[in-house]
A and B are shown apart, each in its own frame.
Chain A
Amino acid sequence: EPEVTQTPSHQVTQMGQEVILRCVPISNHLYFYWYRQILGQKVEFLVSFYNNEISEKSEIFDDQFSVERPDGSNFTLKIRSTKLEDSAMYFCASRGWEGTYQPQHFGDGTRLSIL
């Protein structure tokens, strides 16, 4: 069964540094998402992306965050100047469209640790 893949599985970065989290969505999917889960807390929506532009973003997704689909397969989340509170699991998700709403499929996440 097709999967969403995320790299790296664990990223350790110094506070203030830029970090790029990478995702390869399922190949025929058209809608892409990023979520984060701070340890012990609920999964929170960050941003959705469709047709090469952001379709929705949450209050968490401020100016330090950006997303990009640089080619036909990758979907990236960039955090420009990381803060300690950015430490979390970051999940990428994608979904298709088959005439009706299809569920989002998640990757296994990238654990981001900010030192």
Chain B
Amino acid sequence: SQQGEEDPQALSIQEGENATMNCSYKTSINNLQWYRQNSGRGLVHLILIRSNEREKHSGRLRVTLDTSKKSSSLLITASRAADTASYFCATVPSGGGADGLTFGKGTHLIIQP
């Protein structure tokens, strides 16, 4: 698989439920970020977790990072219809300098009212 692969590719849940998305990557990273993209729109930054962090919270979002497994998860609690979007993880490689983001294919999340 390529750097920044999310699973599942699609997820449909009921409003109020929690949604969990996973991301795997291959190379050493400086940080990992999660973005949201609504249909036809740009990417909205959600949360950044650095390589020396294991967990981070922002509102209803919780992100974990396991550098030994090269994986991350994004948990959205108490989902709302407005959370319907595609979610992408993106990594910045370690080593300094180059910081073009490498994105995964994303998880398309549908929240059913």
Contacts and interface: CB of A to CB of B under 8 A. Distances in A.
Interface of A: 4, 31, 33, 35, 41-48, 55-56, 58, 91, 93, 101, 103-109
Contacts, number: 59
Q: Please report whether the interface of chain B is mostly helix, strand, loop or mixed according to DSSP.
A: strand
Interface stretch (B18-26, B59-67, B73-81, B96-104): B96-104
Q: Please report whether the interface of chain A is mostly helix, strand, loop or mixed according to DSSP.
A: strand
Contacts of B44: 106
A56 B106 CA distance: 24
A43 B43 contact: yes
Interface residues on B, range: 20 to 34
B111 interface: no
A103 B48 contact: yes
A104 B97 contact: no
Given A103-B33, A109-B42, A42 B97 contact: no
Given A48-B100, A56-B100, A101-B30, 9 more contacts: A31-B99, A42-B4, A42-B103, A42-B105, A43-B90, A45-B100, A91-B43, A104-B101, A109-B42
